[in-house]
Amino acid sequence: MQALCPGTQQQYLLRGITLAWLTALLLLALPTTARSEASGDDTCTLLYDQDDPALFDFVNTRQKVDFSQYQGMTIGDIHYAVLPIFNEKDPAEDNWLYRLANLLHIDTRDTTLRKQMILARGKPLDRDHVRENERLLRANEYLVDAMILPHRVCADQIDLLVVVRDVWTFSPSASASRSGGDDSTSGGITETNLLGTGQRISAGYFDDADRSGHFFSYRNPLLPGRVQLNLSYTNATDGDSVSGGLVRPFYQLDSRWSGGVTIQRDSLLKRIEVNDETVNRYRLDDNRYEAFVGWSPGVRDQAINRWRLGIADEEERFGAVAQTTSLPDDERRVYPWLSWEYQENRHLVASNLNRAERQEDIRLGWYHFLRLGYATEAMGSNTDSLLFSASTSNTRFLHAQHLIRTGMYTNGRHEEGDFISTFYGANLDYYYFLNHNNRWFARLDLDAGSNLRQDEELTIGGNDNLRGYPSDYQRGDRRWVFSVERRRFTNWQIFNLAYVGGAVYVDAGQAWIHGQARGSTLANAGLGLRLSPSKFRVDRVLHLDVAAPLVDQDQVDDVQFIVSGKVDF
């Protein structure tokens, strides 16, 4: 073979380098969104990446994706996109204050999200598992929303993009007031996503005319093995409270086992009030301990059955204080228990139901729960008793406009031939979807009790039911409450921090003691402003209500002004 001269070798080398550079430049010149990648005989297409502006529009973007076309494909890489609190590409959120908030905030870590994934590389894609994983992520109070999108699709493989958006999680608080000659102060801090790890910590103090003290709580839901740790402590002048738990829950629908231990020790001063007047006071020392194990065959025929076996020790002791007029008997119950839970694997994703402009997860179909325990004197109980708790509910979404939820429940115990501290009742919730921003909502609750302690009695009045009357205006062992609301959601945000909405409502109801003369059937009308935070405390809705009583107007204030934070709209 004839050897090449040095000049010829240099020419071939320069031609090779030039050809390589031209090839690289040609590849780089192709548009990113239209580029296909060759992997053997497979062609891959990029659908959503971390810089796509559509990621900030969770509701509309997720509605456009149908994972049924990718059913059964092998899951490849799983990527994560943690969106900032404020979208700096949005002119309404591009200012120095919001940029500073993004800078100071510690984003949720990819490892925190990875611990919550039930989808895994190398497994076949199941669209139901995708939806379930989204629900698990949306349950976090430090995320305003979450969705899973197809990142890159090849012939037989799909890469996923997990998209979440953070909220501001550090909340300092301080207050001071003076009313009726009494001073009240409080302060504290709460961090719901400590260093981006999903841990929650809260601490603070309070001091008012009735009591003073300090509190601390800690929660870590992402320990190894899906174990959750919960701790809380309150030390006050009128009593202490300590609770803790180490639990491995059924963290997904197909989970096969669970288990845990919980403790709770409370020393409380109980106040019994009627129409804002104290009629009885006593001290309650309530100590509870419980351990359990659970098992399940997982999802079978689109339904889930779960069993739990446990043992509980419950003790309640009562003591007299100033203004004590009567005192309940001390009680202790030590018992093993067995529970069964059933639910259908059907869910609905809606928006503007109880939150503004967020994806909301609603469980559909039947749900049943039953728990039975038996306490005996041989195990340390003060008397033999059967303890029970049962509930059933059904939720249906009809004709794309009607959401109906019905339910029944009972809980209490049976001892010495009678039902003690036993409750039972039924409820109905109805939503009528007029359009995207307008809803009708109605609720009916029917409740009754048997041999209730004074602090267990059913009450009516206050922000929980009849908003035009003070708390505990009526009490007894029977109660009914009916409410109807016309709800209005808007797309208007205050400084891009909270969505504004409103409601007009009428409440009616009554509480009484069975066998005694009833009081008046109460009713009120009112209207309220609703603020749904979009960048902080997204698990709460601020209610600003004005309600006027329609009955017994000469016995209560003409108007009740109520400011409260609730889970629902």
Are the CB atoms for 466 and 481 separated by under 8 Å? Answer: yes
Judge whether residue 17 has pLDDT over 60.
no
pLDDT at position 567 is: 83
Evaluate if residue 184 carries a pLDDT over 90: no
Q: The domain 33-166: what is its CATH number?
A: 3.10.20.310
Q: pLDDT tens digits, residue range 243-254?
A: 999 999 999 999
Task: State the average pLDDT over residues 375-396.
Answer: 96
pLDDT for 34 equals 35
493: which 2 tokens?
């945000």
All CATH 2.40.160.50 domain ranges of the chain, comma separated, are 351-360+383-569
Quick one: average pLDDT of 203-228?
Answer: 90
State pLDDT tens for residues 299-312. 999 999 999 999 99
CATH, range 351-360+383-569? 2.40.160.50
Question: What does the pLDDT read at residue 181?
Answer: 53
Stretch 336-361: mean pLDDT: 93
Distances 46 to 165, 446, 499 between C-alpha atoms, Å: 22, 55, 34
3-class SS at 47? coil
Quote the pTM value.
0.85
pLDDT tens digit sequence for 255-292 = 999 999 999 999 888 888 877 788 888 888 999 999 99
Question: How high is the pLDDT of residue 434?
Answer: 94
pLDDT at 42: 56
pLDDT score, position 308? 98
Q: What is the pLDDT of residues 186-212, one digit of tens each?
A: 889 999 999 999 999 999 998 876 678
228/464: higher pLDDT: 228
The rounded mean pLDDT for the chain is: 89
184 and 178 Cβ atoms separated by less than 8 Å: yes
* Predicted pLDDT of residue 35: 37
115-135 pLDDT tens trace = 999 999 999 999 999 999 999
List, for residues 408-463, the tens digit of each pLDDT value.
999 999 999 999 999 999 999 999 999 999 999 999 999 999 999 988 999 999 88
pLDDT for residue 358 is more than 90:
no
Alpha-carbon distance 33 to 469, whole Å? 60
Amino acid type, 407: G
Cα(60)–Cα(437) distance, integer angstroms: 15
Residues of the chain with CATH 3.10.20.310: 33-166
Over 80: is that where the pLDDT of 406 sits? yes
Among 334, 275, 338, CA closest to 466:
275
Contact status, residue 162 vs residue 137, Cβ threshold 8 Å: yes
